[in-house]
Structures are given as structure tokens and as C-alpha cells.
Amino acid sequence: MTSQGFPKGCRLHLKNDFKSIIHDGKRMQGPGLVLWWKPAPLGSSDRRMGLVVSKKLGPAVVRNRVKRLLREAFRLNRERLLGGVDYIFNPRNSETLATLDEAQNALLVLCQRAGLLQAPLTIQSHGAQNE
């Protein structure tokens, strides 16, 4: 079983990291959310996430809730995302990210369009087959 935490190593903190990803990385816009991504520095196979939330999104209560929902959506789906990539999410519309399900859906749709999801695991049944 994998750890369900969100360790410090999975977060982007440095201003230079944010600048580098936004300036040199790729960008894609989806419903209520913008994604920037860039391969992580050499030797890193982890997925790191950063958030850029503007005051235009709403008051502090709204901004903090959207950040919590996006962090949780990323944490729950971290294993489905490609490793060795740094991700920055910028929410643009708080109404489209009002619940955890909506935040997860927006995050996954955007990552899928960008080609950042790993191939889905297929589960094979080992039951008896009639021939």
C-alpha cells in the first residue's frame, strides 16, 4: 500500500522553480483551470505540484478552499500522473472547482489532454472460462 500523505518533497516552493516552469514549460488550459508542466531536474522521478492562485478568484476563504481541493485531488491521483514532471495549477473559476469530485475531474481531464497520465492498468480476471 502506498503512502497517502503529501510530503514536502512533492511540493514546489522556490520562486525560481515556479518561474522556470511557467517560462520554459508547456501550458494547457481547461475548464476553470490552467496547467503548466515541465520535466523535473535530472535524477528526480517524483511528481511535484505547485499552485498559483490569484486574488481575482475571490476572497481568502474561497482561494484557500480551492487550494485544499486541488491539493487533495493531486494527492489522490498522484500515482496516475507521469513521474519526473513538475506541475503548476492555476484555478481560474471557483464555481467549476466547488467540490472534490469537480476538482479531480478538472485535474484529470487537463492532464489527460496534455498526455500526462500513465497508461491505465488493466485488471484481468483469473476465473474459469467456458470453452
Q: What is the pLDDT of residue 126?
A: 55
User: Any idea which of 31-35, 73-77, 115-119 has the lowest mean pLDDT?
Assistant: 115-119
Residue 28 to residues 38, 56, 115, Cα–Cα distance (Å): 12, 20, 11
Mean of pLDDT values over 86-107: 94
Residue whose C-alpha is closest to residue 33's, from 120, 110, 126: 110
User: Considering all CA atoms of the chain, what is the largest pairwise distance in Å, rounded to the nearest integer?
Assistant: 64
The C-alpha atoms of residue 127 and residue 81 are separated, in whole angstroms, by 31
This prediction has a pTM of: 0.84
Residue 104 to residues 14, 46, 74, 81, Cα–Cα distance (Å): 25, 20, 7, 12
Classify 8-113 by CATH class. Answer: alpha beta
pLDDT band at residue 100, thresholds of 50, 70 and 90? very high
